[in-house]
Homo-oligomer: A and B are copies of this chain.
Amino acid sequence: MSIMAKLYWDDFKVGELGEFGRMQVTAEDIKEFAAHYDPQPMHLDEQAARATLVGGLCASGWHTCAMMMRIVADGFLLDTASMGAPGVEEVRWLAPVRPGDELKVRATVRDKRASKSRPDLGFLDMFFEVLTAAGTCVMTVRTNLMLRRRAAADALPA
């Protein structure tokens, strides 16, 4: 991995960053995630899911978070000098994610600020909207990403 190839905190501007994806959601993926991590009837089995409030198989909300992460990673995060995230400010599960849905992520930089305690780091206040091909927003996530600052990289020994 070349440090020079990466995007730094300095390279991001407040505003819409872009739309990334798409990821195809399958019944097999929904059930496999559920069997490992969220074995509730509406995520595990079509027939049991029909008897629930959502009326049919749908992805665990945490599965939707995980799929968003993959789209964001492939979309831009793996090309950045990312230092992770301290957490998540808010997740809103707005509509069921169904087999056959194709998910994409619209990423927006709401704000950016340098770290006060770590001059080599900066934060990006991100807003992610997970959208189906039909344009339904199924989830929103607010989180602060930590990225290395370009000045810190320039100061590295050659």
Are B93's CB and A86's CB within 8 A?
Answer: yes
Contact pattern, A 77-111, Cβ under 8 Å of B = 1, otherwise 0: 11000111111111111000000000000000000
Closest to A53 in B: B83
Interface 9-mer from A7-15, A35-43, A128-136: A35-43
Q: Which residues of B contact A67 (CB under 8 A)?
A: 37
How many chain A residues sit at the interface, stated as a range, is 35 or more
Is A153 positioned at the interface, with any CB of B under 8 Å from its CB? no
Given contacts A61-B87, A66-B66, 18 further A-B contacts (CB under 8 A): A36-B70, A37-B66, A37-B67, A37-B69, A38-B69, A38-B70, A39-B73, A40-B73, A40-B78, A40-B82, A54-B84, A61-B84, A62-B65, A62-B66, A88-B91, A89-B90, A90-B90, A91-B91
A105 to B37, CA, bound (A): 14
Q: Which residues of B contact A37 (CB under 8 A)?
A: 66-67, 69-70
Are B87's CB and A92's CB within 8 A?
Answer: yes
Are A53's CB and B84's CB within 8 A?
Answer: yes
Given A62-B65, A62-B66, A65-B62, A38 and B73 contact (CB-CB distance below 8 Å): yes
Q: Which residues of B contact A87 (CB under 8 A)?
A: 61, 90-93
